[in-house]
Structure 1
Amino acid sequence: MTVEIPVTSFGTARTDAAAGTAPKKELDKDTFLQLLIAQLANQDPSSPMDTSQMMAQTTQLGMMESLSEIQASSREQFALQMRMASADLVGQQVTWTDADGKVQSGVVDSVDYSGSVPVLAIGAEKIALDSIAGVRPAGSAPDAPETTPETTPATAA
């Protein structure tokens, strides 16, 4: 079945684009409903749209909305995990590579959540959470060997 959409429905999109608004690159439920209404309004009365096709399209719309909700929920969950992870770093010693390629280290003083990625304050430095390369307990030496029972000197009895 051929779907013809009136030219006037595209006029606003051109006006928006001319006004500086970028056209949408994704189909959303509003676009889907506009297309379905245009299809129903312009169908041949002697050969109407099959109801099973309409049900399939409606089901696809419902699935698309559900997937959109899951995606939004996943984004929120990831943002919360980043906030929790960055909060746990306060008081910890972290390492990162600066703009000159030099490995730096310092203790996290605070966290700023104003951006999309939490920013750690380490002294005067502001480091994005995703730039952190390592974490150690505060006060531990960067290259201190781990102590195991085999390497710990025995105490004199």
Structure 2
Amino acid sequence: MTIQPIAPQPVTATGTTPQAAAVRAPVQTIDANVFMSLLVAQLKNQNPSAPMDTNQMMAQTIQLSMMEKMTELTSNSKEGFSLQMRSAASQLIGHSVGYTLADGTTGTGIASSVSFAGAVPTVRVGDLSVPLDSITGLTAPAAS
């Protein structure tokens, strides 16, 4: 049997051990603030006898600009897709739709209303709220 040593814990003036400090979750993405702080740190700590090449600095500035535009483009694309889903869900009202739910339940019915409360619009079919991405078919209403 191996005996593992126990690391000593500091004791405060009250005789209790302090609570462990909260662990900060690492940032998984680089945004403009992180990029700028890295660039400023690089400029502060550069060797005065061999300063940063201006071409490198321009390239990094261009990369920052491109990153900001890509982030803006991503945001705009998400907003556009959300608007398209809402429009598509609204156009289902009054039509006969077929659906397959996540549990495998299938069915058909007339879409009577739409809710935009969640990330994915839900279509009211009878007594069920069916997510738009579960709609599998559409039949136009009969002409009166």
For Structure 1 versus Structure 2, the TM-score category normalised by the shorter chain is: 0.7 to 0.9
CA apart distance, 1:99: 4.9
Distance in 2, matches of 1:41 and 1:67, equals 28
- Residue 138 of structure 1: aligned partner: 141
Aligned structure 1 segments of 4 or more residues deviating by more than 6 angstroms: none
- Residue 56 of structure 1: aligned partner: 59
Q: Give yes or no for contact 1:43–1:49 (8 Å, CA) kept in 2.
A: yes
- Residue 4 of structure 2: aligned partner: none
CA apart distance, 1:21: 5.8
Instruction: Please state whether the residue corresponding to 1:115 is helix, strand or coil.
Output: coil
Between Structure 1 and Structure 2, how many residues are aligned?
123
- Residue 101 of structure 1: aligned partner: 104
- Residue 76 of structure 1: aligned partner: 79
- For residues 13-36 of structure 1, the C-alpha deviation after alignment (integer angstroms, 9 at most, x for no partner) is xxxxx6466332011111100100
- Residue 38 of structure 1: aligned partner: 41
TM-score normalised to structure 1 length: 0.73
Distance in 2, matches of 1:139 and 1:20, equals 62
- For residues 112-147 of structure 1, the C-alpha deviation after alignment (integer angstroms, 9 at most, x for no partner) is 10111001111210110000000002359xxxxxxx
Distance in 1, matches of 2:140 and 2:24, equals 49
- For residues 71-130 of structure 1, the C-alpha deviation after alignment (integer angstroms, 9 at most, x for no partner) is 111111100000000000011110012455342000011101011100111121011000
Identity of aligned residues (%): 47
- Residue 123 of structure 2: aligned partner: 120
Q: CA RMSD in A?
A: 1.8
- Residue 26 of structure 1: aligned partner: 29
Distance 1:20 1:84, change over 3 A: farther
Unaligned runs of 5+ in 2: 1-20
Instruction: Please state whether the residue corresponding to 2:41 is helix, strand or coil.
Output: helix
Q: Which has the higher helix share?
A: 1
Structure 1 residue 110 and structure 2 residue 88: aligned?
A: no
TM-score normalised to structure 2 length: 0.79
